[in-house]
Amino acid sequence: MLTIGVDIGGTKVAAGVVDDEGKIVEHALRPTPADRPDLVAETVADVVKELSRDRKIEAVGVGAAGFVDETRSVVRFAPNLAWREEPLQKKIEQLVGLPVIIENDANAMAWGETKFGAGRGQTHVVCITVGTGIGGGLVFDGKLFRGRWGMGAELGHMQVVPEGRLCGCGNLGCWEQYASGNALVADAREIAQAQPERAAILMGMANGTIEGEEVTEAARQGDDASLAAFASLADWLGQGMADLAAILDPGCFIIGGGVSRAADLFLDRARETFARQLTGRGHRPVADVRLAELGAAAGVVGAADLARQR
């Protein structure tokens, strides 16, 4: 059975025809009309029609960043596309004439990684996407956990520092303000400003503004400020996983997202911090902390498989 998975990002709409084995048979890309969220459904429909040509497609799964309701049809809130109570399922179904489900993009990624990627064989998985912010997906007893209203696993918005850094969600001290790509850059900039002698390599690379790529490359060249920023990210990530383990007791954590491409700079330390901060350490198994395997394809593969199982 062939289904189509679609991953709606802030800059591009990625889609693919996916078979029962989680293999992408054909893929396509479109720019996201971010300034015209009303046109996103049409963009998705166009790419679905292209991929459906000369194929029998059973259903379409769409991953979107934001709060998706319990019926997997309405995007209640999506900060990057300014959707509010957007009936995305109905719009796309009317345009493509196929069954459609809408899923949170991190949930789709978590399902793809659990079934076809780093979580194969695991029944209790916490997937953490470390990118601009932090997203999350939970698979328990082999099933995607979505919560009563479909809005569970917003892991990045656990409050870890009371009255801490202002988050884009409007609250203060959220986890993603300390363990994300934005946090990495903010920490590196702060150190560079306060102690420029520690950031000589980084400052030599930056053309006026320090960004994530410069921090990563500078860290690989031994820049002290950049390495310190990665150490902070690792410690916050490890502490957060220990807190989640105390509540959820997973068998496996999977770390994905754009920042995971620099895993050599932080993942071992995050594992060490996780094990050191784990409640009941020494008297319980320590969950594996694995790097995601499917990369950018995870959301497409997961959304397509969730549509297959609708």
Question: What single DSSP character describes residue 253?
Answer: E
5: exposed, middle or buried (Cβ count in 10 Å: 0-12, 13-18, 19+): buried
Is 162 part of any domain?
yes
Q: 91 and 217 share a domain?
A: no
3-state secondary structure of 197: helix
User: In this structure, are 23 and 163 located in the same domain?
Assistant: no
Range of the domain at 35: 2-111+297-308
- Give the CATH number for residue 67: 3.30.420.40
Task: Please check whether residues 103 and 135 belong to one and the same domain.
Answer: no
Q: Record the tokens describing residue 117, joined without a space.
A: 């990627």
pLDDT tens series, the chain, 310 aa = 999 999 998 889 999 999 999 999 999 999 999 788 889 999 999 999 999 998 999 999 999 988 999 999 999 988 777 889 999 999 999 999 999 999 999 999 999 999 999 999 999 999 999 998 999 999 999 999 999 999 999 999 999 999 999 998 899 999 999 999 999 999 999 999 999 999 999 999 988 789 999 999 999 999 999 999 999 999 999 999 999 999 999 999 999 999 999 999 999 999 999 999 999 999 999 999 999 999 989 999 999 999 999 8
What letter represents residue 59's amino acid?
A
DSSP string computed for 89-134: HHHHHHHH-S-EEEEEHHHHHHHHHHHHSTTTT-SSEEEEEESSSE
Distance CA 100, CA 310 (A): 9
**Cα dist. 29→46, 86, 91, 222, 309 in Å?**
10, 22, 20, 37, 24
Q: Does residue 102 share a domain with residue 133?
A: no
117 belongs to a structural domain: no
Contact 285, 279 (CB under 8 A): no
- If you count them, how many residues does the chain have? 310
Alpha-carbon gap, residue 236 to 16, rounded angstroms: 35
**Helix or strand holding residue 13 (H, E):** strand 12-18
Other CB atoms within 10 Å distance of the CB of residue 97:
12
Same domain, 242 and 257: yes
Could you tell me what percentage of the chain is helix, strand and coil, using 3-state DSSP and rounding each to the nearest 5? 45, 25, 35
Please indicate, yes or no, if residue 116 is contained in any of the structural domains. Answer: no
Residues 151, 228 within the same domain:
yes
Could you tell me the two tokens for 165? 């850094």
- CA 304, 308, 310 angle in degrees (round to 5)? 110
